[in-house]
A and B are shown apart, each in its own frame.
Chain A
Amino acid sequence: KQEVTQIPAALSVPEGENLVLNCSFTDSAIYNLQWFRQDPGKGLTSLLLIQSSQREQTSGRLNASLDKSSGRSTLYIAASQPGDSATYLCAVRPQKSSGDKLTFGTGTRLAVRP
């Protein structure tokens, strides 16, 4: 059974700092990995999706990397801002099959202090 772990569970940083969020998974037979952002009381918003054949994806100040063989992904946030405060979730999708049954980590709650 796939298990996804995110460390740390919570993180507080001053504005402007660069930071890294970690995601690890136990079964490397994945189709892709997706990072989501969740604001309090809201749904999940997709940030980046990395296919299993890719090493990284970038969107603005966000960069996600994937090392499938070691079962790890990182989300790098450059020059953090208070608006980045949210919970960040990673989720892995099993290899191509009927139904995209994602397995989620428990998330990292990020607070960026002004």
Chain B
Amino acid sequence: NAGVTQTPKFRVLKTGQSMTLLCAQDMNHEYMYWYRQDPGMGLRLIHYSVGEGTTAKGEVPDGYNVSRLKKQNFLLGLESAAPSQTSVYFCASSYSVGGQSSGNTIYFGEGSWLTVV
């Protein structure tokens, strides 16, 4: 059971380049999330999805886009990378009941380290 898998694990980008982070979960979870973690600021929610084909903005969505074409995958895109997007990105997923939170554990991936120079 792989859980939540993120690719790539490490990436260096030049300012203005674009890239996509892929998250895959094999737990049949409805909810998926992208967080970023910066020193002294904790984890902040970028975008989330409550089901296939749906996405919503989190706390810090600017500069990012997401897509959830398949239930098991949640993609995070950076169209024009900026140095301020240097961070560690975490994908997570959780189970829902009838479209509402199940209140159960949220599972995290191992993280993707992104540096924008």
Asked whether A100 lies within 8 Å of B42 as measured between CB atoms, the reply is: no
Is B45 on the interface with A (CB-CB < 8 A)? yes
Task: From known contacts A100-B31, A101-B45, A105-B42, infer whether A31 and B101 are also in contact, taking CB-CB under 8 Å.
Answer: yes
Majority secondary structure, B binding face: strand
Task: From known contacts A43-B108, A44-B108, infer whether A93 and B101 are also in contact, taking CB-CB under 8 Å.
Answer: yes
Task: From known contacts A31-B101, A42-B111, A93-B101, infer whether A101 and B58 are also in contact, taking CB-CB under 8 Å.
Answer: yes
Kindly count the residue-residue contacts between A and B in the assembled complex, taking CB atoms under 8 Å apart. 69
Shortest Cβ gap from A32 to chain B (Å): 6
A-B contact pairs, 11 of them (CB 8 A): A4-B42, A31-B101, A34-B106, A41-B111, A42-B111, A43-B109, A43-B110, A49-B103, A99-B48, A101-B48, A106-B41
